[in-house]
Every structure is written in structure tokens, then in C-alpha cells.
Structure 1
């Protein structure tokens, strides 16, 4: 079995070969990672393992604090920010578990957009097809796991920012219930919706990383048999406008689950989606909360900031606190109703995104196409955030361009969802 140091050097060599056109990372911790790798190899020789993540190569999104450096959150205006005084809590826990942190991955500015473009960095290309986008906002996280420069990557998910790049790059991406993983030391986008989750090549690796970050001393959940499992399929607007390969792969996944004994049951949640859309006609929850986070600089037109971030946040700054409170009260009513609906099933199943990764050329030069693509990419994933659920994206087999199968479960049912996802993963593989 290759040493940790050998695996690390292979990744660093690959990254060095494209140093002038790096697409996945904004910072590498080469020397620190080498020391961590050597320590992990030493523990292996001495039989003193720190656990299942000891010696695993991990990358972290550019919004997690690392002591001694400013946290950029994908924005060049934060280069002069005060350096972090301590590691983010999840970084601290990962280090204690023996991981080798190779670097910070590229993200969209302030994690606000989902296509994967950040005007301050070279365009981060999809790991499968470099002519296509990689998705966001955890853009580099999806790339690094898919290409193998990290074995696990840690991202954040406010509307789909872990699951979208996971789906478009063909890896697993897990969004835990919001606030289940501590947000201390993570630059916020929307405190009500933000969650921290892993991307990896397997559900098991996501489950291990999740357990370490939550501080739970729990094993990887055993796969739950699919026989008798009720899988709800929300027919309606969430299955509209699907590209044919995605639609075909999704139906094949459902058929495979049915053959394994699962009960596939059509259902509808369109009324709840419409009710939340009506409540957020004043502005999205993420947009309103992010406008408060960034209020100090939003009126400054001289700053070099992505206008896809500054313009919408500036508009949301005008939403009154009383209207925001009413929105959040309405959300709680709808969250309870969604919880009641999903309780009738083990999980909901959806395509993670209704489309595969579009070409960079199609979205980079046409704002109307960009907005249409972003709306489609976020449409299905944001349901889990808006209604306070947990969700995971698994690669669907048989596709030329990657697509994801999203499984969604009740608030707090994270470990059960991971157990069910292990069964579905085994079935699809």
C-alpha cells in the first residue's frame, strides 16, 4: 500500500505541472502537508492510528479559517483582512483525526453563485470535460475529488453548493442538516441555511468525514436494505426541463431501486414550493441574510467584486427587518409541513440537477443563459436548504457527462440517510 507521503507527492506533482493555470486550488500547504503525511506514516508503522481518517488527503474550501492567514471566501477584497487567530473548528477536528490538509479550494465569490465562475481567478473547468463548468459554490472541491488531487474535500452548502459540483463532476456530495456541523470559523453566507459537508468518491468516506466534523464517535452506518423502503418521487416542477440523458438515468435508478424491493411512490410538494416562493418574493433567505453579512461594503462601487454578487445583495439590503421576520415565521410553518410530508417516506429521490454541466462558453458570454443555467442548477438542491432537510448526491451510472441522484431525508435523519445512500450506492455500482 503506498505511503501517505507518496500519495501526497503524487498530488503535489500533478498540481505543480499546471501551476501557471491552476483551476482547483487557491492555496497549497505543501510543506505542512508533507510534515502531516510523514507523521501519519510514522503512526502507521507504530500501530498508533488516530482513526479512519488518519493519513487521508483532504482539501478545504476557501472560507474556512486557518490560523495566521486571512480567510478570503473567494474574494480579493479580503486580502487585507485580519488573519484568523485559530483554525475553524472543523479544521481543528480534522487535524486531530490525522488528516493531511493539502490546500484550500477555489470557490465562487462569497459562496453566492452556483455556476462556478469567479472573475478573480482562472475559470475552474469541470474535471470530466474541461470545456464545461464545474458548478459552485464549492467549485474546486468537486474538481479536486474527481481528479484525485484530494481524497476528501470539505465544502459548504447553502442552496446546493456541495451537491451541485458533486453532481457535475461525478462524485458523492453530502449536505447535513443545517447547524449539525459547527459553523465556528466558517465565513458565513446565510446563517439560517449554511451547512458544512464533505465531497468524496464514496458514501462511506463522506460518513466518516461527517462524523469527525460533528464530533460524533460513531462508525460508518451499515447499509439499510432497500426491500420495503418507501421512496417518494416529487413529480411536478422539480422534474421539469430535464435533459434527456439525465431523465433517462434518473428513471433507470428508480427502476433499479424498485427491482431491489423499494416501493417507488409518486407524490407532490409543488404547493409547498409555491408557498415558499410566494413568501420569498421579497428576496431569497440567502440573499437577505447575506446582505446583512456584507452590509459594510455593498454601497462601495469602487470595489473589485463580482457584480453577480454585489448587485443582488444590494437590492436585498432594502428588505425591512419586519418583512424578514415574517418570512422566517412563514418558513417555519412550511418546514413543519414538509417534515410531515417526507415522514410518509424513507426518502425523496430527485435528480440533483436537471441538466449536466453546460459549456463555459455558453454561460460566460451570455448573461441571460447564465441566469437560466443557475436557476436550473439550484432548483432541486435548494429545497433541502429552504425546508431544513438533509440530502446527498450520488453519481448516476451510464452517463457520458456526470449527473447526480439526490436522496433527501427529514431534518436530523442524517445518519439514516447515509445508511440508505450506502445501499443505493452499492446497487448503482
Structure 2
């Protein structure tokens, strides 16, 4: 049987009857709804794969959300650029306090404060055992890989809510040993659920090391996290490219060089910075809604970033691609783009012997190490990405502000537990 007791952070001693959450209604529309309080069984609902309905989750925990963030990946759905169904509860960046534990949970207890990787992993399949937790074989009946509150990811309910169910909790949850210390750094630690490991993964897979020169395409939160990750790995120069002047200013605030791609191909501006028109490592933190460079910057051209990176990365170099690409895009610029089929200059990539790494970041491969870097003041990721706490009710307005290009990472604080 599951157990519920009082919670150290919340002081609550009873199970709530409801649960408020942020839901996608349709293109450009989100709202805060009242949904069911989670139980240890996956129930039918928007986006839930029929094969997952009724799935028992005795290995799970129920969290009271302390922080849950708005992600650029959520924005793709909210813009109507995926096949997400109406009323899908959003949110895959989850940090919270355990208020209930399932009967099969062994190593976690009520009151623990934990970070939850956005990708759900069973810990039992071949891929999980090989640390490829982004492509777990057992949590999504449609394809390898799953996530909370995301289209085609199995239907696990999202975490932009007051409470959320986390399956396979012993494997998935990263516990913070000192809760007081963690709450002091919660705006940094909340980034461990996704964007900090994702950006860091982009830098690692791009081969960044001591003395590297790096170009990061995109100055949104993941791009900025990739830049911070590249610095942490010892890069000599990190260059960030974007169209948004305010986001480029944020990149400069922690020591990055910048490129305004509205002024043309990054190659010429990179040469002005480095003396040569190429870098050792390229990172795509833009994804499938990329726009052209120079005079074409107002026009969507989904292969622009990938083709540009192949051109400016040195022969024998590598591209890390944390930016999201999808297999179904109703708003694609042509029929091919609507299927995720892009016109890549693969001949250049082949001729230059470039390496490519795509797909979900395996968060558990990195999150403990990055936690230690945060706790021991080696990095200030919250400051770099502009972490901005908001209430649950402010989430719809924050989605609109983020979509307009605000240089911020919005952190939803459903229970008013974060110091402002």
C-alpha cells in the first residue's frame, strides 16, 4: 500500500482532492485547469496511449511541485507545431517534494526533495542499462523514449501542476541530501531536470574540451545552457548566434561572444572574432522552427541551422544537436517539412567527416555531476538563463511573453515555496 504523511516543506497532512495544472487548448492557447489528483495508476486522458491506460505504477511517487519550468519544447506544441491534442497537461521539467510513495519504492521516503529527469526511464531495459535513458524501451508503446506532458510520449501527465506522478522513482529521482541548501539554490537546481543537462549534452557530443572554439546556434535557454556547459568543459571561446538582441545580450553577460544572424551567414562574423571562419564544435539549440540568415531571417527555413553548422565546423569536428526535430509538424513550410524531412547538405558533412549526435539528452548521465557543480558554486545556470519565478496562474501570460522572445526562463512556483 502507498503511504501519505505530513511533509517537511509543505506542512500538509492530508491528500488534496484536486490538482491544478497548465493545459494546452489549441494553437496559442493555454489555461490553468483543475484535473484529478494523481494515483498510482495511469488513467485515460488527452494524449495517453491506449496501451498505457490502466498501467500500475506501484514503483512511483507523487510529488508536490516546488518548481516546474516552461521549456522551448513546450512552445512548439503551444504554437500548434505538433500533433498535441487539446487539454494535454504540459510540463516535463520537474522538481518536487515526495508526498506519497508507492508500495514498491525502496530508497525514497516522504519529505525527500528530488529532481526528476524529463525523460522517463524504466531502468530495466537494454537502453537504460547502457545509460541511454532518452530512448527507454518500456515506457512508451509507440516508440523508444518518453517524457511527461509531451505529444507522442506515452501520455504521462505533465508536471506544470501542483502534484504529479513520477514512475520508476527509485531509478529516476535525484535526491537532494540537504533540503535547506537545495532550497537556497532551487532556481539553479530546477534546471537539472532538462535544460542544463540538455545543453551540456550538446557540448559534450560536439566534442567540446579545454581550449575548444564553439559556436552555439540559438540563445534561448537551451542554447545559453549549452554555452555555460561549454565553458564548464574548458572552451576557450564560446560564440552564440541568434536574431534576438536581448537574448544575445544575456549570452554576453557571462562571457560569450555573439553573432547576430540577421546580418548574414555566421561565417564572416566568426572570422572577425577568431581570425578563421570555422570552429572546432557546433551546437544546434534551435531545432525545426529555424529561420534563414541575413535577408532571409524573417522566413522559416528548417534546415538552415544544420547546414550552416556543417559549413562552419572544421573538418573532423562534431555537431551536438539538442534542438528538437519532429516527425509531424502541421505548420511545416512544405509537405516534406511536415514529415520532418529536411533538405540537408549531407554531402558537406560527409566530405568533412563530421560527427552528428541527435535525440533526447540522457539526463541521468549528467545530472548528479551538474548538481555538484551547482552546490559547490562552480556554475550559476539560473543567472545565465534568466530564471524568473512565477505563480501557476501567471503561466499563460508567461507562455505568451516567452513566445515573443523574452530573455527569461520562467520557473513556475505552484505553492509559493520559492524566495522572490
Would the TM-score normalized by the shorter structure come out above 0.5? Answer: no
TM range (shorter): 0.3 to 0.5
The structure whose residues are more often strand, as a share, is: 2
**Normalized against structure 1, the TM-score is what?**
0.32
**Normalized against structure 2, the TM-score is what?**
0.32
